[in-house]
Chain A
Amino acid sequence: MNETRKTQLLEKLLPPVVALLVAIVVGDFLILTFGQSPAAVYRLLLEGTWGNAYGIGQVLYKATTLTFTGLAVALGIRAGLFNIGGEGQLAAGGFVAALIGLALPAATPAIFGILLCTIGAAAGGGAVGAVPGWLRARFGAHEVITTIMLNFVVLALLGWVVSAKIHVPESLHTPEIRTGAVTRLSDIMPVFHGSAANLTLLVALATAGAVSWYLFKTRRGYELRAVGLQPDAAEYGGVDVAGVRWRALAISGALAGMGGINFVLGYKRYYEEGFATGAGFLGIAVALVGGNSPLGIVIAALLFATLSQGGLAVNALVPKQMVDVLQAVVILAVATAVPAVRHSIRASAKSVARSLVRKTPLDAPTPEVGK
């Protein structure tokens, strides 16, 4: 029993580690082609991220958004659904949070303001996620198509509303919210001065915990995972499969939408067009590397945030895009390493099995019964 658990753990941990190693090796070659020393570049990358309080703050800030979008993708995948609509859901969540922050009277107690804005962000993202959910349940329209197309619709719509109705002149953002601002890390610990990190990261951690609880401890989570693994068996088990899919996409959208508060409530305190471009899509990579488990997603979000912040830090030596390439290599390596690693682990188990077989001589005569 212990042995199988060890194998399972190995199967989970090895792919991201192998992927990271592959990315580092590929990175070495890239850096060499720019005539730089890999050691120097990697040192700079680490110093610019984990080497000082500002860097750490920026990594934490970016990891916060990625945790939300990663959780959104993972919850979908657990239900057997691929939500690629994170971009639009994230933007919609941020926008609704900003609207509520603008609409509430300035005297609203901070805790209520934050709560209402966060609920609004979840509702905004959830509404965007619910549309493909409904289309899937009602018409069987595939969510990969509908979620990705909805990104364009939502972003264009928000762009029009902001620029036509509520933007501050000469800018692409709304006025500052009147309530709902989340405390920045630098307000508590001045050493983080200048970084965008804020207490939304606690909300992200709590959300990761809540998603974990929902998936693995509740009846609805049990049913959701059953639908993702074997929809026919779930149906047999009395689960409303279409309803679960619908709900899962709505919740997935709500999780992505909550990511919007990191920027809107915690950092700039207004909604700005394109505030999180790419974070929705990067959530897919975070979920993949994190193995669709909430804890894994938090760690993977930190990894991708480090790479993304590190890109800025190494810009003096190599182009920032080199780090984008590294991110892509990590994703590709995980995507290939997952089956490859699993296969090699199974193969070693197989050779063990075969050696067991060989203990019984192959050419031993078969008994002749009934003679």
Chain B
Amino acid sequence: MSAARVPDVSATPVAVRMTGIVKTFGETIANRGASLEVKRGEIHALVGENGAGKSTLMRILSGMYAADAGSMEVETASGELRDVTGWNTAEAIDAGVGMVHQHFMLVPPLTVAENVVLGREPKRGVTIDRRAAEQSVADLSARSGLVVPPTAKVADLSVGEAQRVEILKALYRGAKILILDEPTAVLSPPEVTQLWDVLRKLRADGGTIILITHKLDEVMDVSDAITVMRAGETVARLRTSETTPRDIARAMVGRDVALALDAAGTAAPSGAAAPNGAPLLELRSVRVDSPRRARVVNDVSLTVAAGEIVGIAGVEGNGQTELIEAIAGLTPLSGGEIRIAGADASRLTVRGRGDAGLSHVPEDRHRRGLVLDYSIADNLILGQQHRFARRAQLDVARIDEHARRRVAEFDIRPANPQLPARALSGGNQQKIVIAREMGRDFQVLLAAQPTRGVDVGAIEFIHDRLRRARSEGKAVLLVSADLAEVLALSDRIAVMYGGKIVTVLPRSEASAEVLGPYMTGAAGVAMRGAGAA
């Protein structure tokens, strides 16, 4: 279908051209001579693994960063290309280039309309013409298909709605070229479909869209053309209609990869189909209250047995983080009970739970999982430091020996245990965490977003280790924002919405289509009440 839309590629005018872009941050090189060419009126997917330099390239285009070298041109209203190398954000906005960031830049206590017009408010004398603002936002909303109530407070919106406000903001400022940075990370499957409809509508109105993503199914779904980046360089330009996910993956990684996840659902977990081991992790009516929100985790009961991976699916921000932190002992319980390997662990400290057999791969390795300025060797004992001490003193010889073994076994690179963790790539940093938590004796593993920000090669490795833990009779509780990952690994799948577990399904009955309604709260019993809490 997209091939029919853009029959003569060479005749379509170019909207954006970037050549030879170099950008360094300290010793890291984010872009090394990257290039990009986007035609007017196309949805252009910019793909690559995490750390390939996609976001940096787009921040340069939107004026947030200045490139160290290279040039860029953007199509003007009159249709010719203008050299815009080194422009700032204000100039980019004036020229119709708008970017929607991964992390929203909205003011929560203000209304939708106020957020959209912020910086370009319609005025009546010295005051803001609120009615005119609301009217123009409503018009824009109707035209673009981005449905949001203009008078609602942004703080009360769902993540999907907040994202629509971000896009409206860009359109209100007259964006002709819209950049979206991994927009689907926070969306449920139906919301993703709605977003694609909006983007197609914008394209039909002559807009140009650049979509940053690393999810190949999205690329195939919605894009017309693809630029693949690897290690800061542009390695391929493709027409979506003429390529396959396998080709794109090969260009992203630079070699053939086992695409375990390419079609969610086809790669069902093998073996351990009917785990009948003893329950190793038991949650009984677990409740967590956060300082900001009561009942962030609301009456959750779940059991994970030996030799079983239970995956928790759900849109981020529905209590998964708080649940995992409560099980790990980092957040106090307001009620309920947590049992590890048959014993009550609800009142144990973090260390006590670790000694009881709990391992934890935290979702944020930079904040929680690693002390970035500590060496690899020192990070490999974090949480186990009391086992590597003789009386008061750390047993340096054993720490070094332990580090050498783990670095070799888990293929952590560079293989120098004395390097600070900060110096490693995201994938290798995550391998430190995995090596530490899975290299020791444990019964229960909490794996929160275990492959976030990790390259495809490391993802294969981590998935393999998780499956191996299952076959060794461990209990694994997996939380991932990536539904495909949950489907590929889990024996049973629980969906969290509004702090509750709204359903638990065996893998054989679960698919993106079945789970989607639960993830948005459209199915399940308690969604209304939980959503309002």
**Interface on A for B, CB 8 Å cutoff?**
1, 4, 217-220, 222-223, 225-226, 229-230, 232-238, 240, 346, 349-350, 353-354, 357, 360-364, 366-371
| 10 CB < 8 A contacts A-B | A1-B419, A219-B385, A229-B371, A230-B371, A235-B330, A240-B349, A354-B69, A357-B22, A366-B237, A369-B251
Q: Could you tell me the distance between the alpha carbons of A350 and B330 in the complex, rounded to whole angstroms?
A: 39
| B394 neighbours in A (Cβ, 8 Å) | 217-219, 222
Whether the pair A219, B392 counts as a contact (CB closer than 8 A) is yes
Interface string of B347-377 (1 = CB under 8 A from A): 0011100100000101000011111111000
Complex: chain A residue closest to B378, CB-CB: A222
Q: Could you tell me the distance between the alpha carbons of A367 and B20 in the complex, rounded to whole angstroms?
A: 14
Separation in Å of the B210 CB from the closest CB of chain A?
17
Whether the pair A220, B382 counts as a contact (CB closer than 8 A) is no
| A222 neighbours in B (Cβ, 8 Å) | 378, 385, 394
Q: Could you tell me the distance between the alpha carbons of A368 and B234 in the complex, rounded to whole angstroms?
A: 10
| B374 neighbours in A (Cβ, 8 Å) | 225-226, 229
Q: Could you tell me the distance between the alpha carbons of A174 and B360 in the complex, rounded to whole angstroms?
A: 59
Complex: chain A residue closest to B399, CB-CB: A222
Complex: chain A residue closest to B351, CB-CB: A238
| A362 neighbours in B (Cβ, 8 Å) | 19-20, 22, 33, 69-70
Complex: chain B residue closest to A360, CB-CB: B33
Whether the pair B396, A233 counts as a contact (CB closer than 8 A) is no
Separation in Å of the A196 CB from the closest CB of chain B?
35
Interface magnitude class on chain B: 35 or more
Instruction: Select one of A232, A349, A350 contacting B368, CB under 8 A.
Output: A232
Separation in Å of the A248 CB from the closest CB of chain B?
16
| B367 neighbours in A (Cβ, 8 Å) | 230, 232-233
| A360 neighbours in B (Cβ, 8 Å) | 32-33
The residues in B between 372 and 392 inclusive whose CB is less than 8 angstroms from any CB of A are 372-374, 378, 382-383, 385-386, 388-389, 392
Complex: chain B residue closest to A371, CB-CB: B242
Q: Could you tell me the distance between the alpha carbons of A267 and B521 in the complex, rounded to whole angstroms?
A: 77
The 4 tightest CB contacts between A and B, nearest first, are A238-B351, A362-B20, A369-B236, A237-B382
Q: Is B464 on the interface with A (CB-CB < 8 A)?
A: no
Separation in Å of the B71 CB from the closest CB of chain A?
10
- Of B23-31, B149-157, B181-189, which binds chain A? B23-31
Whether the pair B392, A218 counts as a contact (CB closer than 8 A) is yes
Whether the pair B22, A235 counts as a contact (CB closer than 8 A) is no
| 19 further contact pairs, Cβ within 8 A, besides A237-B371, A238-B385, A366-B234 | A1-B416, A217-B393, A218-B389, A218-B394, A222-B394, A230-B372, A233-B370, A235-B368, A236-B360, A238-B351, A238-B386, A349-B26, A349-B27, A350-B24, A361-B33, A362-B33, A366-B235, A370-B243, A371-B242
The residues in B between 223 and 237 inclusive whose CB is less than 8 angstroms from any CB of A are 228, 233-237
Whether the pair A366, B35 counts as a contact (CB closer than 8 A) is yes
Q: Could you tell me the distance between the alpha carbons of A370 and B245 in the complex, rounded to whole angstroms?
A: 11
| A220 neighbours in B (Cβ, 8 Å) | 392
